[in-house]
């Protein structure tokens, strides 16, 4: 019963955290050429040029029932800072050849949503195979300068933008509330079973008298 109450409270708190996170995303600022690390979900506007030869591909993306990759291209802004840009979905089919994507040259203006690097998904084997990555890891690029900030831009507008596929992976707060009520329901059921069992135990006599049979002499 105590475990059910505790787990229900934990899910209730997680629902509150998700509401706060979604509210921060909705209220995220629009920042042009940020110098400090932008907050998660901020809408960034960057001007500069792609480092096309440094493009890698996030493997095993599925969008609209198609199998493909997400091109990841470093971008040097006009102030010399380097950003990683996730450009969208590129359909490849089941082939394992290194993907190819056209990248605009010259100075361009990009706009997209910023995602701060966080906990990475577990890996089962090497992260990199040719130009494919199993997960985004900034250490996979060998650049003259380090990336400006730990994270990447999900491109939404501008040259080089492909089909948008990414959206924040957030369990809805309502689902956490449903889990909370399930745990509290189990705790209530445990309480009822405990009370019924205690009542039956109280009615049961402590000792049971067994009639003795007289043994004839």
- Give the separation between CA 157 and CA 155, rounded to whole angstroms: 6
More confident residue, 141 or 168: 141
Identify the pLDDT of residue 213. Answer: 60
98 and 198 share one domain: no
Task: Compute, in degrees rounded to 10, the torsion defined by CA atoms 56, 69, 169, 83.
Answer: 30
7 and 47 share one domain: no
Domain count, the chain: 2
Residue 46 lies in a domain: yes
Identify the pLDDT of residue 170. Answer: 54
Domain limits for position 186: 1-27+171-202
CB 145 within 8 A of CB 80: yes
Residue 70 lies in a domain: yes
Q: Whole-structure pTM over 0.85, yes or no?
A: no
Average pLDDT for the chain: 87
Phi, psi for residue 3 in degrees, rounded to 5: -60, -45
Q: What is the pLDDT of residues 86-122, one digit of tens each?
A: 999 999 999 888 899 999 999 999 999 999 997 777 7
């Amino acid at each position: 019963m105590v475990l059910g109450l505790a787990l229900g409270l934990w899910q209730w708190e997680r629902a509150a955290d998700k509401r706060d996170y979604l509210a921060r995303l909705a209220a995220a600022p629009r920042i042009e050429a940020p110098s400090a690390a932008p907050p998660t979900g901020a809408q960034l506007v960057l001007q500069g040029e792609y480092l096309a030869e440094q493009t890698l591909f996030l493997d095993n993306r599925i969008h609209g029932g198609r199998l493909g990759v997400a091109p990841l291209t470093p971008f040097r802004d006009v102030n010399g800072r380097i950003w990683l840009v996730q450009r969208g979905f590129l359909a490849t089919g089941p082939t394992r050849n290194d993907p190819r994507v056209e990248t605009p040259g010259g100075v361009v203006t990009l706009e997209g949503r910023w995602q701060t690097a966080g906990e990475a998904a577990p890996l089962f084997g090497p992260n990199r195979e040719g130009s494919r990555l199993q997960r985004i890891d900034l250490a996979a690029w060998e650049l003259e300068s380090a990336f400006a900030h730990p994270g990447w831009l999900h491109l939404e507008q501008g040259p080089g933008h492909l089909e948008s596929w990414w959206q924040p992976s957030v369990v809805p707060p309502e689902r956490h509330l449903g889990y909370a009520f399930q745990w509290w329901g189990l705790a209530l059921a445990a309480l009822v079973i405990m009370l019924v069992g205690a009542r039956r135990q109280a009615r049961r006599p402590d000792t049971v008298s067994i009639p003795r049979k007289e043994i004839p002499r």
